[in-house]
């Protein structure tokens, strides 16, 4: 896949996340660096850290706040396990987990970067290569 196509798809996913967040979905990431990477990409609303509580308690708390959650954990074995567990806990608590976005990102970037915290740097690198422009 060409870098320009990959960048376009990633930017579409970023817009999708922003839209879902504005409609009330929360975004679940593993840690602070993941949250910062999303903020650097312009996603700043409703980001929750899964590392802040035991996962069951975290999922119950999320379910009290919303019925939609986007899970964006790393694509390593630990991130996979966290996504699977949070999804199960959220479903049991009445919240619909969205893992499709995570899977789309993973498919596009897993050969280049290993985690969410590397996403903003990777996207900016693609922007430089495709548009020959630097972004903050």
Give the number of other CB atoms < 10 A from CB of residue 15: 12
pLDDT value of position 134: 58
Q: Give the mean pLDDT of the chain.
A: 92
Contacts of 59 (CB under 8 A, 6+ apart): 86, 89, 90, 92, 93, 95
Q: Is pLDDT above 80 for 97?
A: yes
Q: Is pLDDT above 80 for 135?
A: no
Average pLDDT over every residue of 88-107: 95
pLDDT value of position 53: 80
Closest CA to 123 of 40, 51, 30: 40
Cβ contact 110:70 at 8 Å: no
Over the stretch 21-75, which tens digit does the pLDDT of each residue have? Answer: 999 999 999 999 999 999 999 998 899 999 878 899 999 999 998 999 999 999 9
Q: Is pLDDT above 60 for 136?
A: no
Domains and CATH numbers, the chain: 3-128 (3.40.1360.10)
Confidence of residue 86 (pLDDT cuts 50, 70, 90): very high
Q: Is pLDDT above 90 for 101?
A: yes
Q: What percent of the chain has pLDDT over 90?
A: 81
């Amino acid at each position: 896949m060409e870098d320009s196509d990959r960048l376009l798809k990633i930017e579409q996913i970023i817009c999708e996340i922003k839209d879902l967040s504005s409609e009330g979905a929360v975004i679940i990431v593993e840690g602070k660096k993941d949250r910062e990477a999303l903020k650097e990409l312009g996603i700043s609303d409703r980001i929750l850290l899964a590392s802040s509580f035991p996962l069951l308690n975290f999922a119950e708390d999320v379910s009290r706040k919303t019925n939609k959650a986007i899970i964006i954990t790393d694509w390593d074995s630990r991130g996979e396990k966290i996504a699977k567990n949070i999804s199960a806990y959220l479903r049991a608590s009445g919240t619909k987990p969205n893992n499709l976005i995570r899977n789309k990102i993973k498919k596009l970037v897993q050969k280049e970067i290993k985690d969410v915290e590397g996403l903003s740097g990777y996207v900016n690198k693609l922007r430089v290569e495709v548009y020959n422009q630097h972004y903050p």
